[in-house]
Amino acid sequence: MAKRILSGVKPSADMMHLGNWFGAVRQFVELQETEDNYIFIADFHALTTVHDAGLLRSYAREIALEYLACGLDPQRTVLWRQSDVPEVCELTWLLSCATPMALLERAHAYKAASAEGAEVSMGLFCYPVLMAADILAYQADLVPVGEDQVQHIEMTRDMAEKFNRQCGSEVLKLPAHRVNQAVARVPGLDGRKMSKSYGNTLGLFEPDGALKKKVMRIVTDSTPLGTPLDPETCHVFALHKLFGGAALDELRDDYVHGRIGYGESKKRLLPRILEGLAPIRERYEQLRQDLDYVEDVLRDGAARARLVARATLDACRLAAGFADPPRR
Ligand code: TYM
């Protein structure tokens, strides 16, 4: 039987980057072939960092467009905006009451923000509970993500278990994560995880010239030309690896025999990125001409997603001790 797949991307920047594509969205596209795919735009989550209404709206629409450009097919994937299904907020409350604060205090994102001395909103602190509600509302079996989200899925399981135990009823299904280990942590221009918040990204839809400048900025050491290079520690090589193929073996050979310098390796990387992303970038340009279609897809997806979330919420309300579901 097909598995229920659930995942999302947070619209907190103007476009997705290579980390989102290789770590997550490519998996979504592959899974729609055989599984029951539910993919959404996590705009409630983006509100933890984006506080400009116009920007939030445009970032969210942009992710929708990009999902479609990446190959998600509305016939095979339910696609919607998180904020169009308010049931997740009510479920967040029910789960909050089964979630120890100590669990949330262990969340990496919260710990990093407080270590930096940033002001932590309740939204950021409760981020994992909203994420659990997203996953549990849709009775997901499997959540495809990059490595940085695994802790959230483990916390989701903890919350679901506790809620079920408190209610004495198995209303919530425990999900598993799915990480593609080869691309679990795509590095950025500086070798740290590629991330919007580190400003080290290569955007999927950036103009060729901007991508070229960024590729030339990838951080390398000062090994002189003619000296062997270590492919395992080189940030440029790590990005080449994403695209695989015979060219990669050739490049590895050139590295270990000192036949290539970092500049040349960067020059070879750019066309590989452009070629690898060409179909997605072309579809993106076509879809941009028909934004009404994108809105239609989201409206239809929200209606379908909402039915599932409503049924889960009704069951949870009853299990937790509330009266029959409110009339609507
Ligand atoms: P977000 O928007 O930060 O990232 C979206 C997806 O991309 C993956 N990813 C990466 N994978 C490999 N290497 C990288 N450098 C890299 N950067 C990002 C992420 O792991 C993620 O899978 N909290 C989530 C959104 C969310 C969600 C959910 C996800 C909200 N509710 C429910 C799954 C299920 C987030 O901010 O992802």
Query: In CATH, what number is assigned to the domain containing residue 136?
Result: 3.40.50.620
| Same structural domain, 131 and 240 | no
Does residue 4's CB lie within 6 angstroms of at least one atom of ligand 1? no
User: Which of 38, 145, 194, 201 maximizes ligand 1 atoms within 8 Å of its Cβ, making it the mutation to test the pocket?
Assistant: 145
Predicted local distance difference test score (pLDDT) of residue 326: 64
Q: Which tokens belong to 74?
A: 């509305």
pLDDT for residue 169: 94
User: Does one domain contain both 14 and 122?
Assistant: yes
CA angle 84, 90, 91 (to 5 degrees): 100
What is the per-residue pLDDT across 11-31, written as a single tens digit (0 to 9) for each?
Answer: 999 999 999 999 999 999 999
Do 278 and 295 share a domain, yes or no? Answer: no
Cβ atoms of residues 252 and 277 within 8 Å: no
pLDDT of the residue at 323: 81
- Please state whether 267 falls in left (phi above 0), alpha (psi between -120 and 50) or beta: alpha
Ligand 1 atom, smallest distance to 148 CA: 20
Q: Are residues 104 and 232 in the same domain?
A: no
With respect to residue 327, please indicate whether it lies within any of the assigned structural domains: no
Tally of structural domains, the chain:
2
pLDDT tens, position by position, 259-296: 999 999 999 999 999 999 999 999 999 999 999 999 99
Looking at the fold, whether 229 and 110 belong to one and the same domain comes out as no
pTM: 0.96
3-state secondary structure the chain: CCCEEEEEECCCCCCCEHHHHHHHHHHHHHHCCCCEEEEEECHHHHCCCCCCHHHHHHHHHHHHHHHHHHCCCCCCEEEEEHHHCCHHHHHHHHHHCCCCHHHHHCCHHHHHHHHCCCCCCHHHHCHHHHHHHHHHHCCCCEEECCHHHHHHHHHHHHHHHHHHHHHCCCCCCCCEEECCHHHCCCECCCCCECCHHHCCCCECCCCHHHHHHHHHCCCCCCCCCCCCCCCCCCHHHHHHHHHCCHHHHHHHHHHHCCCCCHHHHHHHHHHHHHHHHHHHHHHHHHHCCCHHHHHHHHHHHHHHHHHHHHHHHHHHHHHHCCCCCCCC
* β-pair partners for 81: 41
Q: Can you give the pLDDT at residue 324?
A: 73
Regarding whether 200 and 64 lie in a shared domain, the answer is no
Structural domain containing residue 100: 4-184+291-320
pLDDT for the residue numbered 325? 67
Distance 320 CA to ligand 1 centre (A): 30
Provide CB contacts within 8 A for 88, sequence distance 6+: 44, 82, 130, 133, 134, 137, 309
Domain of residue 242, CATH code: 1.10.240.10
Residue 253 lies in a domain: yes
Neighbour-count burial of 314, counting CB atoms closer than 10 A to its CB (0-12 exposed, 13-18 middle, 19+ buried): middle
Q: Are 103 and 206 members of one domain? A: no
- What residues in the chain have per-residue pLDDT under 50? none
The answer to the question of residue 169 being in a domain is: yes
Which token pair is 2? 């097909």
Cα 8 to averaged position of ligand 1 atoms, centre (Å): 7
Q: Going by CA atoms, what residue is nearest to atom 5 of ligand 1?
A: 9
167 and 263 housed in the same domain: no
pLDDT of the residue at 328: 59
Pocket test for ligand 1, best of 31, 62, 148, 190 (most atoms within 8 A of CB): 148
Residue nearest to atom 37 of ligand 1 (CA): 9
**In sequence order, what are the residues at sequence separation of 6 or more whose Cβ sits closer than 8 angstroms to the Cβ of residue 142?**
3, 4, 5, 6, 31, 35, 175, 176, 177, 178
* Polymer length of the chain: 328
